[in-house]
Chains A and B, each alone.
Chain A
Amino acid sequence: MNPIPLLLTLCAVASATPWPTYRHDNRRSGVSPEALALPLKEAWTHDGGAPQQAWTGPAKWDAYSKNDGLQSMRNFDPCHFTTAINGLIYFGSSADNAVHCLDAKTGKEKWLHFTNSSVRFPPTIEDNKAWFGSDDGFVYCADAKTGKTLWRKRAAPTDRLVPSNGKLISPWPVRTGVTVENGRAWFAASLLPWKTSYLWCVDSNSAEDAYLTEHSEVTLQGAMLAGGSQLYIPQGRAAPIAFDQENGKRTKQIGQAGGVFCLLTEDNQLIAGPPNQKEQNEQIRIADTSSGKRLTTFNNTTRVVVSKGKAILHSVDKLQCLDLTRKGELEAAIAATQSALKKLDPKVEEQKPEIEKLKKSLIQSQNDLKGCLLWQIDHPTPVELIIAGDQLIAGLNNEVVILETSSGKQLWKAPVKGRAYGLTPSEGRLIVSTDLGYIHTFAAKP
């Protein structure tokens, strides 16, 4: 999505903020500017069928390394994620291979658009068009109101299909979703590292090629991100790769990241995790996308949401809010001080005053770090966190809750069936997708 027109739209129609793509925008921020009017009441529930995930869960443990509780690094399709705009709700189904469009008010199906295999991300909606990719190796553009096909493009090099988990897929499935911005659409066809993968950029209206680049020894899976003239594509158990958005050339690998939970902050920091399966603790790391260096690490967490310089995350039965900007500044200062200290020799008399000064500064910075914790509350571990205005929405096992971002105070909660992995606050509604395939929609009480 083009962020500038979208922003203008949001300002103009503040009471009808849409959620037009996976996790709201191309940075996959999970942040919507508009709060929901509370309390909400369940309007309807749609049974989308149990998701047929691309990959199973991880091993029970790495027994040899004595690492247990291994994390899934390819869990990009645990539910039927939704997008929502103009009173319509969309989801792609890994179960019945179709994109569904539902009336947001009633839950009634408006249209179905079938593909030949699983659809793992919701369509991106803009200008009454819906773009989506499929495991069949094709990308589709449909009329967002009718579902009528506008164009279909094969992203895979051949039509070839092979069995996979009881279905047929292309050896080059499209599992990145479709990123749309400034009249262009980006997507990748990829799976097998020993086969060439394809990164496409096409005219979003006509499917006419802008460019196609080929990449070896990669497996591009998980929602693509865009920001700062770069595209980022996760790889699951390997680090995400950055590509120049203009020409599709590979620019770097963000070695401090991994997994398929990825988001870009407003200042182009990539928050991603888990970095690997080796760490004893679940981790999410923040990397500077320009240097690829790690900026900070959040331990014991799997989800972070960032808004206005503040990060909200969970850690060992706690929810906490951090001043991320200040934390970054202090950690940079600490790193610089430690680096300076290393260069000094405490045995050299004339360097001692400088060493003392730096040590004091270090202690001060370390103390100041504690002040970055703005609030912390006891809270069960969420499987998803997003923000709507001044509300934090947390998806839990069989429950969804809304809390105040400023304090963590609980404002509202409701039961759902299953783990609430997908959260879409849009146009006054909260749409919750669970791992059992249910889509619950809550709306303001009349």
Chain B
Amino acid sequence: MKYLLLALLGISTASSDIIAEWSPLKSQFENSDLKPSGKALEIPEFDTNGNLIFANKQHLILPEEIAKKLPKQNIAIEARVRIDQSQRWGSIASYSQDNGSYERGWILGFNGDQFSFRLSTGGQLLEVKAPQSFEPGHWAHLLGTYDGKKISLFINGVLVATRSASGPIVLPDIPTPFVIGAYKDKDEFYPINGRISSVTIRNSLPTQKELAAIAKKSAGVTFSVRPAVRFLSPGKALLYWEASHPGKAIIAYGPTRKLGTVLESTSKDLRHELLLENLQPHTRYSYRISSETDDGPVFSPIYEFDTSMNYMPKGLVADKTHPTATAYLADLPTQPGFAVVVGLTDGILTKAIAAQSQLNVTAFDDDLERINKLRKELSIEGLHGTRITLIHLPDLQKIPLTSSVGNLACTERDTLPCAPAELTRLTRANGGRTALPDGTMTSRPPLPGAGEWTHQYGPPSNTAYTGERLGGSQASKDLELQWIGRPGGNFGIDRQPRMSAPLAVNGRLYHQGLNRLMALDAFNGQILWGMEIPDLRRVNIPHDCANWCVDDNFLYVAVKDLLWVLDGSTGERVRTLKLTADHRESHEWGYIAQEGDAVIGSSVRMGAEFKKYFGDAWYDKVGRDSDTANVLSDNLFGYSKSEWKGRWSYGRGLIINPTISLSDGKLCFLECRNPELKSDTTGRETTKDLWKDIYTVCLDANTGKIIWEKPFPKTLLKTDKKGFIQVSYGAMTSKGFLVTLSEGDTDEQGKHTGKGIFSYHYFDLANGKLNFQSQTNWRINHHGAHISHPVVYEDRVYTDPTGISLPDGKVLDHKFGPREGCSAVVGTTYGLLLRGINRCLTFWSHEEKKPTHWPRLRPSCWLSFLPSQGLFLVPEGGGGCSCGGWMETSLAFIPKANSGIPLAPITEEAKK
């Protein structure tokens, strides 16, 4: 640790207002001692940049007499910091006591993942807190100021919070440690995890010019399109981004934060693509982008990607012009998957299919001698079991493989050794190809009754029901394992804390993890592609909307201020869409949906979206607080897919994101038209006044024109004097727009009574007429029960634990469940899927009105399972929950009726 006292108290320096400064660098350290005084409390360790590593219990104790002589007003305390882990009561620099009612001194620090500055003028510590979360691992410049009247907090030169106060700072009058890197007082000690490169204390407040200089210096590298890493093949990945200014760009990357390898982009324009080769497997890499500016080099934060997520198949050396293989593979998507070959001759076609595609080829054959000969050859080449697997089967009439696996199903022989129907059965639905020996090729259609989960809650109408029949399944026993495996526990954020749901369409399953996304073949689990996107993450979806949606061809992903349009089969970014011109500097992409030719987006204030997940980031605390505030959009706009051009925008009030619904060309939502709130917003619902001037609005999704608008009726429990809105959801049937509010009860003093209701408000889709208002009671007010998202059928709506009928709004005569744990509920034609018995995945039957479950299958804490494509898809969502014996895997179920293999009990014959 280096302690550098640049200026002594009361002595003028070159920077006349700096009264003390510490720059904890290695070169300023002598053992554990600081120069000229002070001490590191643990043996100091430094990173490669020479910064002291604050970890475990490391912190610095400074001379208390300095703290006592600091100004009591007209003080500015600034620090350049990198917090690696959010926590309670984090302190960067402090001289404070917080012992019951005895609160004295000041603290520049953070609580949870929000920076804060607190000081006492004799009473309780007064706090100003950043409204947005900081990004762990990213450097920031913090500045807390007090002029005797106002406490202010600046981040990277920008004012983020301020409040009034009066009088001088009152310091502790008992012995108190003056600390950097921990909160420490008489009886409390909270060390931090991260870096602090400087702490400076001034006796004057910064000028606007100085703040602008800080902002410029803190900006680092600026991007036109944020960076991403896409895996190409084993050991190889592509890092790409677009700079906001032309100039030389360099990346440094390596398996530790020491980085190491340096590459320079040769691009002459703004687009940069760098091939990263010889990457080690199962390694978490760090990288940083730098670019030249007139003021010298600037740097991005240090980002990460993990090669454990690289599941791309290895290539093989073989004939890549085999005519039959070429014909079989023609026009099939260029993506990994499975090929199933029934009957070999010499293995050449099998090998050619593997060589000319990214498919894993499994061949079944009845000649053990032939199989073993080929296996040995392939094993020597390192191909058997990885790209090509040969399986001996005495009888090729019936292949003991679950149905609908092969992206390609064929034979090497002139005569098919099984019935054509068997080959078709093995062919994957949604476009898998059956190739018969006579050259006939057919494409398999989707499974009967299959639905498509294209948006957060199924269709863009948010019903959490797509019409998926799941082959008539009504219980867990009606479904059989279709595939199991990756991605696993290392993919996501432990319980996927109320993140965007997976999506599935056109035979593909898309899943988000910890700043990453992946596409899988829904039918065989093969990972098609994966991307690591540092700026991807969005959480607290119940109070916001998802950051993605999909159609047959493209995946639409909101990343900061842009919409990335990705090729669904390869992950290649084919274009980006921008916000409306008036919002590009100040907003980020919020809502995203697509239907027909329309892509709908919205603008939310920069930083309004929730990103924190470490610690108490649970977003379902009963009552209103900063974590249960709705995210609000300032406008909505429409793009055309056919032209990729913007068509319209609408921005009258504040649009409540979780209410936005789209169906059949109509876009419905709730909008607050309170002009005061419109002009003074952080992009989140900060006041209950939001609900005073609410309208229900229906737009034409293709033109943006208002079809109808109505003042929202009185809520059923909440009044101006008491109660609160916990969540608000919009959904559409073919006839109506349903607004479901979760309303909590309070007494006149605002204290929650423990009770609440779901209130339903159903508007005629044609004219906005209110058809009915109805209500059901909360079952409990925790574990997501009180923020239950509705499952909406044409004739019923379910929220935990019951629901209402449509179109009359009568309360149902039955309950479903038990629903346990934090997840959402989704519907199929014959039942509800939820986290239920023993907090495991559960299937509740509409007909039997009983649940059955899958032991040890833990979904995420919002929505990580979906009935779609005729399958029940369950990508990994809860493996990081360290408290149970969970299976920690992704898997899919297929209805038993479609699985193709009757499951017989063990017979005496079988035992032999």
Contact = CB atoms under 8 A, between A and B. Distances in A.
B772 interface: no
Contacts of B375: 96, 98, 112, 114
Interface residues of B, number: 78
A306 B514 CA distance: 40
A108 to B, nearest CB: 13
Contact of A70 (B483, B614, B880): B880
Interface residues of A, number: 64
B361 to A, nearest CB: 11
Interface SS majority for chain B: loop
Contacts of A179: none
Interface string A107-121: 000001010111000
Which 4 pairs across A and B sit closest by C-beta, in order of nearness? A59-B880, A56-B488, A238-B885, A277-B882
B887 interface: yes
24 contacts: A59-B490, A60-B514, A60-B880, A64-B613, A64-B618, A64-B881, A70-B882, A96-B382, A96-B384, A97-B389, A98-B379, A118-B385, A154-B910, A159-B400, A162-B483, A164-B483, A164-B485, A167-B360, A168-B391, A194-B856, A212-B911, A238-B885, A277-B883, A435-B282
B488 A55 contact: yes
B887 A193 contact: yes
A380 B841 CA distance: 42
B143 interface: no
Nearest to B854: A194
A352 B389 CA distance: 76
A235 B888 CA distance: 12
Contacts, number: 206
B514 A50 contact: no
A168 B389 contact: yes
B809 interface: no
A194 B911 CA distance: 22
Interface SS of A by simple majority: loop
Contact of A171 (B384, B481, B618, B889): B481
A59 B488 CA distance: 8
Contact of A57 (B378, B483, B488): B488
B906 A157 contact: yes
A311 to B, nearest CB: 26
A445 interface: no
A116 B526 CA distance: 19
A369 interface: no
Interface in A264-309: 276-278
A118 B384 CA distance: 11
A114 B372 contact: yes
B384 to A, nearest CB: 5
Given A158-B903, A164-B484, A66 B401 contact: no
Interface of A: 49-50, 52, 55-68, 70, 74, 93-98, 112, 114, 116-118, 153-154, 157-169, 171, 191-194, 198, 209, 212, 217, 219, 235-239, 276-278, 435
Nearest to B900: A160
A64 B313 contact: no
A362 B243 CA distance: 68
B495 interface: yes
B157 interface: no
B308 interface: yes
A112 B379 contact: yes
Contacts of B617: 63-64
Given A55-B889, A63-B494, A168-B391, A162 B884 contact: no
Nearest to B399: A161
Contact of B362 (A66, A168, A194): A168
B474 to A, nearest CB: 16
Contacts of B362: 168
Given A163-B405, A192-B481, A278-B882, A97 B887 contact: no
A162 B481 CA distance: 7
Contacts of B484: 162-164, 169, 171, 191
A171 B362 CA distance: 17
A213 B863 CA distance: 37
Nearest to B387: A166
A306 B692 CA distance: 71
Contacts of B495: 64
